[in-house]
């Protein structure tokens, strides 16, 4: 399977973490999605990473879809509980963490542009949303089993450390900080630390 890859992307990291968890091999194809390279655009018209081309030749875009696909073919412990409250709980936490990634990537992309008043307002809004979502994650059970929610949360927090190291997300969130320090040592995360 071929994965269009960027070593800095938290969405790509989520996919790679799921693959490692399941012992699935991915051929990483490094691309800069912002340059819309021909090969990526053919497989993902949206020109975003991650994009996966399966062994059947199916081109899948969006990390949520790709993670669920990999979980469905992997032989490790399932990261997507198949029904009921455990499923919706895992997806609920994943949605919160993905929202953090989206807002943080948005801040990063816009941070390099001229900071007029409108842009500053958007940045403050995104920053506040991240803060509230982290407060919600602080209230989660740190001993819950590893699900896609936990995978997404670890990747979101790793991205904040990587791109926003000067903004201390750990302050006032001791449970989340403790959970992260433990979780980030697991192979799927230790082997995918963001770079770039
Ligand atoms: N919802 C998408 C978001 C993917 C995404 O935004 N990826 C960024 C890199 S972190 C990207 O490819 N950006 C290129 C662009 O927006 O043109 C997912 O979950 O895969």
Residue 196, pLDDT score: 84
- Taking CA atoms only, the protein residue closest to ligand 1 atom 19 is 63
Handedness of CA 82, 83, 85, 90 (dihedral sign): positive
- What the block records as the tokens of 29 is 């194809």
Alpha-carbon span 129 to 126, nearest angstrom: 5
Residue 123, pLDDT score: 96
Single out the residue of 15, 147, 18 nearest to residue 80, CA to CA: 147
Number of H helices, E strands in the chain: 8, 4
Which part of the chain has CATH 1.20.1050.10?
84-187
Residues 6+ apart with CB under 8 A from 48: 11, 33, 61, 62
**Whole-prediction pTM value?**
0.97
Ligand 1 site residues, Cβ closer than 6 angstroms: 6, 9, 11, 33-34, 47-50, 62-64, 105
* Residue showing tokens 């509230």: 132
- Taking CA atoms only, the protein residue closest to ligand 1 atom 12 is 48
Single out the residue of 50, 39, 43 nearest to residue 16, CA to CA: 50
Atom of ligand 1 nearest to the CA of 9: 10
Residue 64, pLDDT score: 98
Atom of ligand 1 nearest to the CA of 50: 20
| Residue 177 CA, ligand 1 centroid: distance in Å | 26
Instruction: Identify whether the C-beta of residue 158 lies closer than 8 Å to the C-beta of residue 101.
Output: no
- Taking CA atoms only, the protein residue closest to ligand 1 atom 13 is 48
Running along the chain, 196 residues long, what does each successive block of 10 average in pLDDT?
98 98 98 98 98 98 98 97 97 98 97 90 97 98 97 98 98 98 98 95
- Taking CA atoms only, the protein residue closest to ligand 1 atom 2 is 62
Alpha-carbon span 68 to 173, nearest angstrom: 29
Residues 6+ apart with CB under 8 A from 113: 119
| Residue 11 CA, ligand 1 centroid: distance in Å | 7
Single out the residue of 3, 18, 32 nearest to residue 196, CA to CA: 32
Query: CATH for 2-73?
Result: 3.40.30.10
| Residue 32 CA, ligand 1 centroid: distance in Å | 11
Which part of the chain has CATH 3.40.30.10?
2-73
Query: CATH for 84-187?
Result: 1.20.1050.10
Residue 114, pLDDT score: 86
């Amino acid at each position: 399977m071929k994965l269009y890859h960027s070593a800095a992307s938290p969405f790509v990291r989520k996919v790679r973490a799921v693959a490692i968890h399941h012992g699935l091999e991915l051929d990483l194809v490094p691309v800069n999605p912002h340059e819309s390279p021909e090969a990526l655009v053919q497989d993902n018209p949206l020109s975003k990473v991650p994009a996966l081309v399966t062994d059947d030749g199916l081109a899948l875009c969006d990390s949520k879809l790709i993670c669920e696909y990999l979980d469905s073919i992997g032989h490790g412990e399932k990261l997507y509980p198949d029904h009921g409250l455990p499923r919706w709980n895992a997806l609920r936490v994943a949605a919160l963490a993905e929202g953090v990634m989206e807002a943080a990537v948005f801040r990063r992309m816009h941070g390099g542009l001229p900071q007029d008043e409108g842009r500053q307002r958007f940045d403050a809004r995104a920053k506040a949303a991240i803060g509230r979502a982290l407060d919600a994650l602080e209230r989660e059970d740190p001993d819950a089993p590893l699900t896609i929610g936990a995978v997404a949360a670890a990747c979101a927090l790793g991205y904040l450390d990587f791109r926003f190291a000067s903004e201390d997300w750990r302050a006032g969130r001791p449970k989340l900080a403790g959970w992260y320090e433990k979780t980030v040592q697991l192979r799927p995360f230790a082997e995918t630390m963001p770079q770039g």
